[in-house]
Amino acid sequence: MPFDSATALTWYRRNRARSRALFDMLTDDAYYSQPIALRHPIVFYEGHLPGFSFNTLVKKALGRPSIDARLESLFARGIDPHESDGAGGSGGSGESGGSGTNARLARDVWPSRDEVHRFADEADRQVIDALERADLDRPGDPLLDGAEAVFTILEHEAMHQETLLYMWHRLPLSQKRTPHGYRPRVEGGSPPGEWIHVPAGCATLGVARGAISFGWDNEFPALSAQVPAFAIERHDVTNDRFREFVDAGGYRDPAWWRPEDWAWIERERIAHPLFWERDGDLWLWRGMFARIPLPGAWPVYVSQAEAAAYARWRGARLPTEAEFQRAAYGSPDGERAHPWGAALPDSSRGVFDFASWDPEPCGTHPMGASAWGTEDLVGNGWEWTATPFAPFPGFQAMASYPEYSADFFDGEHVVMKGASPATARELLRPTFRNWFRARYPYVYATFRCAR
């Protein structure tokens, strides 16, 4: 698909409107708070989103001057902190965008909200002017070949919206305004557990440069993987199923945990998934806007460490990235654009693109099933894999955001695939890869077992 500036402008405006709506969900007193200890305070992100777009497209790609060098530097990308003893593990993909450095600064080093808005408005004005008037698709230009910098800023903001939501998830409920009429969908029981056999075959990881209009650097080039036959669960592991592990003492038995994960469980005194809370004899789910009785049929949201321990307890394991790819996109007659085929993603196929503020029951989107019958591989929660995040042979860092992936090829991060309720539809492509540390419990990530 050739670059079209009118489409890019519409997308940019839709992104900005959605980001504004997300910030407007919060009460004023949340603005300088820091719901996840190793992430920036909320104020950072309201400046970072337009700041990154301005810096990448207007300053770096077009060579235009600064708006305010101090604010641009303050709102620049943070660093991925190492796991700290105090905070239950750190994350994430380049776009989890966190840093302990700024977070430690006192509240009064951050600008007033009016000042953030003035900077953001000017950054937006200049980005929109560039999208309306500048030549942004320049073959041979390091940042604008294939309009790379434009797609970079558009997908960057979409990814951050998911980051914002899982941060908002941890805020006190009193600091969030429930959207009018919103009710989590909790009906029905867990679907029965069912294994699906996927025959041996080839899975394509990544894609050839130039074959899609845009991908992040870690999606290139294409790599063919031969995947032996395997079995994978039709559905994600639900809260009901995961509760069997909790009730069986799974969090008290080192036999199921990798040594480094067990050390984390003991150190942090973790006894259940972060999204669960206990009220007397009752398990509750901490939803975005309310605590509700644990919805048994929802996919459980856990860290990769907890997912791997559960799988071991069941005598199974997590799927590899190549197995996910084969289960989701493979078919007896070649690979597909989406698990369900070529049709564009919509709400009949799965829970993504901000369709819900919480997950929905497993088994409610059979129209999203893959050729083999696996459901919800895209949507309702990212899927943990067993595969460390690493470059495909021939990887080259991208000019518009060289540190995006390269900073995370450290053996400490694992690949997540698919999508969550808070993943924008533009990111639903077979090659899109997400990654986090194994002991990062905050993201909307679930899993299913393979064997």
List residues binding Fe ion (CB under 5 A). Answer: 77, 97
H or E stretch covering 248:
none
CB nearer to Fe ion: pick between 77 and 169 = 77
CB nearer to Fe ion: pick between 110 and 275 = 110
- Whole-number minimum distance, CB 49 to Fe ion, in Å? 8
Contact 311, 449 (CB under 8 A): yes
CB nearer to Fe ion: pick between 77 and 286 = 77
Name the DSSP letter for residue 174: G
Residues β-bridged to residue 279: 282
Residue closest to Fe ion, measured at CB = 97
Residues β-bridged to residue 327: none
Q: How far apart are CA 416 and CA 433, in angstroms?
A: 6
Q: How far apart are CA 374 and CA 217, in angstroms?
A: 28
CB nearer to Fe ion: pick between 97 and 345 = 97
- 32 Cβ contact list (under 8 Å, min separation 6): 41, 42, 43, 107, 110
Q: How far apart are CA 421 and CA 315, in angstroms?
A: 29
- Whole-number minimum distance, CB 146 to Fe ion, in Å? 21
Could you tell me the end-to-end alpha-carbon distance of the chain, in angstroms, rounded to an integer?
39
- Whole-number minimum distance, CB 443 to Fe ion, in Å? 15
Contact 102, 44 (CB under 8 A): yes
CB nearer to Fe ion: pick between 156 and 338 = 156
- Whole-number minimum distance, CB 76 to Fe ion, in Å? 9
- Whole-number minimum distance, CB 44 to Fe ion, in Å? 10
Q: How far apart are CA 271 and CA 254, in angstroms?
A: 12
Phi, psi of 391 (to 5 degrees): -75, 150
User: In which region does residue 258 sit, left (phi positive, over 0), alpha (psi from -120 to 50) or beta (all else)?
Assistant: beta
CB nearer to Fe ion: pick between 162 and 306 = 162
CB nearer to Fe ion: pick between 408 and 447 = 408
- Whole-number minimum distance, CB 208 to Fe ion, in Å? 27
Give the pairing type, strands 223-227 and 201-205: antiparallel
CB nearer to Fe ion: pick between 156 and 326 = 156
Secondary structure (3-state) at 352: coil
H or E stretch covering 118:
helix 113-133
CB nearer to Fe ion: pick between 97 and 379 = 97
H or E stretch covering 192:
none
- Whole-number minimum distance, CB 404 to Fe ion, in Å? 9
Q: How far apart are CA 284 and CA 423, in angstroms?
A: 25
- Whole-number minimum distance, CB 163 to Fe ion, in Å? 8
- Whole-number minimum distance, CB 402 to Fe ion, in Å? 14
Cα–Cα nearest to 447, from 233, 261, 237: 237
- Residue for token pair 């530097």: 73
